[in-house]
Amino acid sequence: MILERAIKQTLRGSIPAPLRRAVRNNLPRREQLAEARLFWERQSLALVGQRRPRARGRILCYHSTGQLEFGVNDVHPARFRRHIELSLKAGYRFVRASEIAQTGGGPKDLAISFDDGLKSVSTVAAPILREYGIPYAIFAVSDWSDMKHPWYIDRALDWREMELLLEDGAEVGSHSVSHPDFSRIDYQRAVDELCISREVIRQRLGFAPDAFAIPFGQSRNWPAACAQSAREAGYRIVYAQAEDTRPEDTVARTFVTKHDNDHIFKALLAGHYDRWEEWF
């Protein structure tokens, strides 16, 4: 944003309007600047981030594996498999996310979760995980899986696909009705997002989930009042983001991005990103 503002200020008044418009239209969009910053942060923290001893398990958070439209949140299938192989080689054991949430797990315990309930979990990630006998959790956005949002048709899992993954042993939780930023919605809307998504999952899959993953998941996306609302809605576990910054009474997860090569992934397992939050 600072770069964008500086360029705009430099241009103002000194260049003819048509040329100014042409330059402005080619300025990097906010998303591109955000992605550049994320790339830089991932790289630099791998080098200078803090390695820290760990007493408990770690839950990884992925989104898609092979759906490029999800940008930084899309991990290439080969890279996803590589993360599993690196983890196993380093002596980690994969357990259920709920096990780490409930017991803390041991320092060599890892769990895999997927936010947003996207198609490639079924077509790409689940077959790989099945090969290795690794459990996983999925957090569904009920309107997206209900195909009420046109852009997510063919991009999100429908309930039948979700049901097959459930039969395959996946844990399924809620990720809200429409993926809002809970810091920007009023109290009643927050209650509805929590309660209605849980009820829709109950109707579609036959059970009411006891776990909720906060949309966006950053500390600022979860106002204090939401914790109480989530408990009243029937959730026992609320998954967030980074270990050090997560809101009280939430379970930490470590977000994994498309940039996470071997070097970054090893740093991630060593705790270099335990204060880092993806901020899109």
Q: Which residues bind Zn ion (CB under 5 A)?
A: 115-116, 215
- Element spanning 89, H or E: helix 77-89
> What is the closest distance, in whole angstroms, from the C-beta atom of residue 215 to Zn ion in the complex?
5
Q: Decide whether 49 or 66 has the Cβ nearer to Zn ion.
A: 66
> What is the closest distance, in whole angstroms, from the C-beta atom of residue 78 to Zn ion in the complex?
23
Q: Decide whether 52 or 148 has the Cβ nearer to Zn ion.
A: 148
- CA–CA separation, 238 and 217 (whole Å): 10
> What is the closest distance, in whole angstroms, from the C-beta atom of residue 8 to Zn ion in the complex?
31
DSSP state for residue 265 in the 8-state scheme: H
> What is the closest distance, in whole angstroms, from the C-beta atom of residue 73 to Zn ion in the complex?
8
Q: Decide whether 61 or 101 has the Cβ nearer to Zn ion.
A: 61
Q: Decide whether 115 or 260 has the Cβ nearer to Zn ion.
A: 115
> What is the closest distance, in whole angstroms, from the C-beta atom of residue 222 to Zn ion in the complex?
13
- CA–CA separation, 92 and 192 (whole Å): 39
> What is the closest distance, in whole angstroms, from the C-beta atom of residue 139 to Zn ion in the complex?
7
Q: Measuring CA to CA, which residue among 212, 128, 199 is closest to residue 171? A: 212
Q: What 3-state class would DSSP assign to 145?
A: helix
Q: Decide whether 115 or 278 has the Cβ nearer to Zn ion.
A: 115
Q: Decide whether 74 or 116 has the Cβ nearer to Zn ion.
A: 116
DSSP per position, 26-49: TSPPHHHHHHHHHHHHHHHHHHHS
> What is the closest distance, in whole angstroms, from the C-beta atom of residue 213 to Zn ion in the complex?
7
Q: Measuring CA to CA, which residue among 180, 190, 178, 177 is closest to residue 225? A: 190
- Can you tell me which residue has the tokens 């930084």? 72
Strands 171-174 and 109-115, sheet pairing? unpaired
Task: Check: CB of residue 123 under 8 Å from CB of residue 95.
Answer: no
Burial class (CB in 10 A: 0-12, 13-18, 19+), 120: buried
> What is the closest distance, in whole angstroms, from the C-beta atom of residue 179 to Zn ion in the complex?
6
Q: Decide whether 46 or 121 has the Cβ nearer to Zn ion.
A: 121
Q: Decide whether 116 or 243 has the Cβ nearer to Zn ion.
A: 116
Distance of CA 274 to the CA centre of its chain: 14
- Using CB atoms, what's the residue nearest to Zn ion? 115
| 175, two tokens | 């990720």
How many H helices and E strands in the chain? Answer: 12, 8
